[in-house]
Amino acid sequence: MKRLHLLASAFALSAMGNFAQAKPIEAVASFTVIADMVHQVGGEHVHITSLIGPNGDPHVYEPSPADAQALKNADITFVSGLNLEGWLDRLIKASGYKGDPVVLSDGIQTRTMEEDGKTITDPHAWNSAANGVVYARNIVAALKKADPANAAVYQANGDRYIAELQSLDDYAHAQVQSIPQNKRKVLTSHDALSYFGATYGVTFLSPLGFSTETEASAADVAGLITQIKEEHVSAYFFENSGDPRLVKQIANASGAQPGGELYVEALSPANGPAATYAQMFRYNVDKLVAAMKAN
């Protein structure tokens, strides 16, 4: 009887240990694109909270007390970096979070532009699927370090996810290359697709710079309208996370035709066309290619 009692106690302790081990890592991501990438690699072993929700603009985001609490409780935090999340330092200080965020853009060959007399680094690196692979590898490395017990799971999930992103990269190259070079020109709300353009060979024009916080001057708008007419840019897009009014105004003045909505800084809600990063990327490729071919 005593032996049965000891066995039962041992079994109970073992079950409690397994339950404790099964508790997922609490992770925070700055916005939905990053949150989905972490989910794809972490699976059931990582509970991920995105500070910015679907259709949210990371440039003008204002953190809430709930965000501070989520960050305080986090075991690990993921950001894109390259000065995209300018509000993050204030949030970290307010929350009391002690860790260093994992910067997923580490290892990216960055792009820059001149804006208001300053050289600025473009933070939208994830809009190239080739860069998405770098993000995924950084996530795998960070989760393996944070949770060595599940390292093999993270590596396997990461390998599958990286293969999917590499396939999307090949798909984008093939789709864009089917369009004559002189037709690969598009008007967008702000300059968030330069990595896509450089990787796949598309020229993007926009009234705003890298951040939606900037404002376009009347002279800039007039110059852009002239450029669109001279270069025969015939399609325009607005973004799910931005204000479409300025780009529509420019399109009306230049004769550009609507191509639809792009998802460049935020995923759609779960029932939308871009609920994951992979869906978002393929959706954008298809929309851009269809508009460039039609015009």
Q: Per-residue pLDDT tens for 47-69?
A: 999 999 999 989 889 999 999 99
Which residue is it, tokens 């059931």? 44
Quick: pLDDT tens for 198-249. 999 998 876 544 444 455 566 666 666 666 666 666 677 766 545 556 666 6
Which residues, listed in sequence order, are joined to residue 114 by a DSSP beta bridge? Answer: 119
Q: What is the pTM of this model?
A: 0.83
At 48 the three-state DSSP class reads strand
Distance CA 42, CA 190 (A): 32
What is the DSSP secondary structure assignment for residue 258, as one 8-state letter? E
Cα 138 from chain centre: 14
Distance CA 35, CA 27 (A): 9
